[in-house]
Amino acid sequence: MIISLVDAQKLDPEIEQDDLEAFEQSIRGLTNNNFQNKLVRFNDITFTKPNIINVFGEVKGLRIGDTVEVNYTAYNDGLYVVEELTADSIIVEGEPFISSNSTKAMATLVSYPADIKKGVKKLIKYDLDMVGKTGIKTRTVARMSETYYDVNANDNTEGYPSSLLSFLNKYEKMGWG
């Protein structure tokens, strides 16, 4: 997760975990970057119910609240938030795993840079500030006039002004099909 639900709700009390997951999915998709920290990777992992990733060796480099990405499994690929750590296993939040073993399965720490976190906070604030103003270009009450930035199809990415998403440009990677 890029920012915690608690931190996001300080900015917008109405935001939900699904919204934060949508931000994360959009950022990963727009940049073609999975933000994996390959220095913290566990190979040949197995899964046991309910939410345990068994690691061969010692769990190093992870903290509670970190995000790990699971790859190369039949059913359990995805992003998971670390809930608890033991000497040789990672317990994650969320839906139970489907028991499966794969010799290629691995879990990798996902690390988002500070400017990505700051950018998501700006997007949350933008959503909060623009509620009810979408589609309004100019508003005049008595002698006071407000003009809003006109977002057209050319200046729009994922429903946000492209300039608001410019923090992603340096993290873009080539998409290979």
* Number of structural domains in the chain: 2
- 85 shares its domain with 22: no
* Domain boundary pick from 86, 110, 134: 110
Output DSSP code: residue 132: T
- 130 shares its domain with 101: no
The two beta strands, 160-161 and 78-85, are unpaired
In whole angstroms, how far apart are CA 162 and each of 19, 85, 107, 110? 19, 40, 33, 25
CATH code, domain carrying 55: 2.40.30.180
Specify whether the CB–CB gap between 106 and 71 falls below 8 A: yes
Specify whether the CB–CB gap between 38 and 80 falls below 8 A: no
For residue 67, the enclosing domain spans: 36-110
Task: In whole angstroms, give the CA distance from residue 105 to residue 147.
Answer: 53
Give the residues across from 101 on adjacent strands: 46
* Domain boundary pick from 110, 137, 153: 110
User: Tens-digit pLDDT profile for the chain (177 aa)?
Assistant: 899 999 999 999 999 999 999 999 999 999 999 999 999 999 989 888 789 999 988 999 999 999 999 999 888 899 999 999 999 999 999 878 887 767 789 999 999 999 999 999 999 999 888 776 666 677 788 888 877 666 665 677 777 888 889 999 999 988 775
- 14 shares its domain with 70: no
Give the alpha-carbon dihedral of 166, 171, 176, 177, to 10 degrees. -40
Q: What SS3 class is residue 144?
A: strand
- 80 shares its domain with 134: no
- 40 shares its domain with 106: yes
Q: Does any domain span residue 176?
A: no
* Domain boundary pick from 91, 110, 129: 110
